[in-house]
Amino acid sequence: MRVIEAALPRPLVLRAREAIARIGGEGLRQSYFTTFWLPRGAAPAHPVEEAVLALWRLAGARRCAGAEWWIGRAYTTDIPIEFHFDQDVKGRRLRHPRLSSVFFFNSVRGGQLAVTDQAPARRIATRLETVAPRRNRYAVFAGNLLHGVLDARGRTPAKRLQGPRGRLRVTLVVNYWDRRPTGVPTWTESGAYRALRERRRPRSG
C-alpha cells in the first residue's frame, strides 16, 4: 500500500469538502453503494470530480479507462460495510479494478483503512496494513485485495458500538478500471447529489 501525505492542494480540499457538506444527510446510509463513473478525458462537473482527477494523477493510473468514485460517509461506531473485494458487482464475470484508493478528509477515532494481502486466489491473509484517517492523506493499493474499515476501537466491525457516535468519517473512494464497471452511471446520469455542483454567484451591477 502506498500512502501520500498532503496529497491535494488545500484550496481544492476545502472546495471538495464544502461540496460534500452541501449534500447534508442525503443518501448517508447508502453512501458506500452510491457510485459514479468518470471516464478518462472527461471534464469535472464539480469540485469532488476535480479532486478525483487530481488523485488520478497521483495514483499513476493514467492508462485506465476511467475512475469509479463515491463519497464514503460513516460513523465509526456503526460501520456499514464488511471486509470485501472491490469488484464489478453487476457484471457477469468477476472483475476487479486495477487500483483502489481512499482519500481522507478528516481525522476520527478509529476508522482505519485496513488492507490485507488476500486476493481472490488466496484463501487466507498473511499480512494486514492499516492507515489512520488524517486530513489530506491518500492511500493507494492493488484493486484485487481484501480490505475494510475498522471501527472506533480499531477492530473489525461486528455490530454497532454503544456510546456517542463521534465525528462522521468522510472519505473519497476512487477505483481505477481498465473497463467501465457494469451499470455504474456518471454523476450527470445518476441524478444523485445535485448539491455537489457549485452555485454560480449572480453578477452585481
Per-residue pLDDT reduced to its tens digit, 95-108: 999 999 999 999 99
Structural domains of the chain, with CATH: 2-196 (2.60.120.620)
Average pLDDT over the chain, rounded to an integer: 95
pLDDT of residue 122: 79
Angle of CA points 72, 119, 153, to nearest 5°: 45
Count CB atoms within 10 A of the CB of residue 40: 15
Cell of 115: 488492507
What percent of the chain has pLDDT above 70? 97
Grid look-up 477492530 returns: 155
Instruction: With beta carbons less than 8 A apart as the criterion, state whether 48 and 103 touch.
Output: no
Report the pLDDT averaged over residues 57-72. Answer: 96
Cell of 188: 450527470
pLDDT of residue 123: 79
Instruction: With beta carbons less than 8 A apart as the criterion, state whether 15 and 47 touch.
Output: yes
What band does 201 get if pLDDT is binned at 50, 70 and 90?
A: low
Measured distance CA(93)–CA(138) in Å, rounded: 30
Report the pLDDT averaged over residues 76-85. Answer: 96
